[in-house]
Amino acid sequence: MITPGTNSFGDFHLPLGTWVAAVVDWITTYLSGFFDVVRYVFTWMDAWMEYFLSTPPFWVVVAVLVVLAFLAKGWKLALGAAIGLLFIVSVGQWTNAMNTLALVVVAAGLAVILSIPLGVWAARSDAASRIIRPVLDFMQTTPAFVYLIPALLLFRVGVVPGIVATIVFAMAPGVRLTELGIRGVPSEVVEAGAAFGSSPWRILRQIQLPLAKASIMAGVNQVIMLSLSMVVIAGMVGAGGLGEQIVASLNRIDVGLGAEAGLSVVVLAILLDRLTAALGGDASGASRPWKRKRKPTVTATPNAATAQTAATTEAVSDRQTVDA
């Protein structure tokens, strides 16, 4: 029985924390080489992404992102992107914003690479779905700080623990929405493809994935948004960028710095959200400037007009015969 006034069964205490600590100690002792390689690869990827985003003058990166926004949605999104990015420059947070964008691109890219194949596997196998679903529940409901602690022990302070925590936190919606999209493809379409002799790989590549594109891109959008929501936690473990500025403003109770860094995160979030929504929500590309189709004009050729006249004459003749 539970002892009154306590939260345990008398002197009994389940040593869960001791077991977890022992497992982490064993991992850090015998698998340190593997995690050093992972840390090196993630650091290299983040460094190169920061180099490509931070080295050019700000107006070059702004111009590239504005052109991408115009090609994805049109001049309204391009104008909004220009205003938002120039706002980041004007408040002096451009370098920090590019560092944060580099972390988000690396973490979200790795999360998408992992989540889409897992979602496909879960959609094609009920047993895999039953195994993956509770793991995703655990990943989504566990506070980020809980798995940030072993990430710090395995990868040390820096950008890598932030990337790992972001991947674990953000990949669940990508898996779920990919599975949902593929399972939502009508079975008649899949059966028709199989009836014509298509292999399972070809059915997946040419039928299921195209028809599930909207759901998959919604998952990608959610992965990116959740990755951006982790920038503050990543800043607490030395990832730098806007997250570090927000943490510094919290420590110093600096409202101005917090507002500048926070609104910069909002601008990046809105821009990435609109870009991914435009790429995934418009499968036909009708809203993209270069894919807008003009209304077709119907012109009757002499042969078509002659055939139509002959058909009308024949119909009238048949009607007269029936009346007679």
Question: Using one digit for the tens of pLDDT, what is the confidence trace for 211-243?
Answer: 988 889 888 989 988 888 887 788 877 777 888
Domains contained in the chain, number: 1
Distance CA 117, CA 216 (A): 11
61 falls within a domain: no
Distance CA 82, CA 95 (A): 17
Distance CA 179, CA 181 (A): 6
Torsion of the alpha carbons at 161, 167, 169 and 172, rounded to the nearest 10 = -160
What confidence score (pLDDT) does residue 7 get?
59
69 falls within a domain: no
Domain that holds residue 157: 32-53+94-250
31: left (phi over 0), alpha (psi -120 to 50) or beta: alpha
Distance CA 260, CA 257 (A): 5
pTM: 0.78
175 falls within a domain: yes
Q: Name the stretches of the chain with pLDDT < 50.
A: 1, 283-286, 297-324
Distance CA 48, CA 62 (A): 19
Alpha carbon 306 to chain centroid distance? 57
Both structure tokens of 161: 């623990």
Distance CA 211, CA 182 (A): 8
What confidence score (pLDDT) does residue 237 get?
78
129 falls within a domain: yes
287 falls within a domain: no
What confidence score (pLDDT) does residue 288 get?
55
What confidence score (pLDDT) does residue 312 get?
46
DSSP 6: S
Interacting residues of 244 by C-beta distance below 8 A, sequence separation 6+: 96, 235, 238
What confidence score (pLDDT) does residue 306 get?
45
Q: Report the 10 Å Cβ neighbour count for 277.
A: 17
167 falls within a domain: yes
CATH assignment of the domain containing 186: 1.10.3720.10
What confidence score (pLDDT) does residue 120 get?
92
Instruction: Render pLDDT for 67-119 as a digit per residue (tens, 0 to 9).
Output: 998 988 888 889 999 999 999 999 988 998 999 899 899 999 999 999 999 99
Distance CA 272, CA 102 (A): 13
Q: Where are the alpha helices (DSSP H) in 31-74?
A: 32-54, 58-72
What confidence score (pLDDT) does residue 140 get?
83
DSSP 137: H
Both structure tokens of 104: 């988000």
If you compute the radius of gyration of the chain from its CA atoms, what whole number of angstroms results?
Answer: 28
104 falls within a domain: yes
1 falls within a domain: no
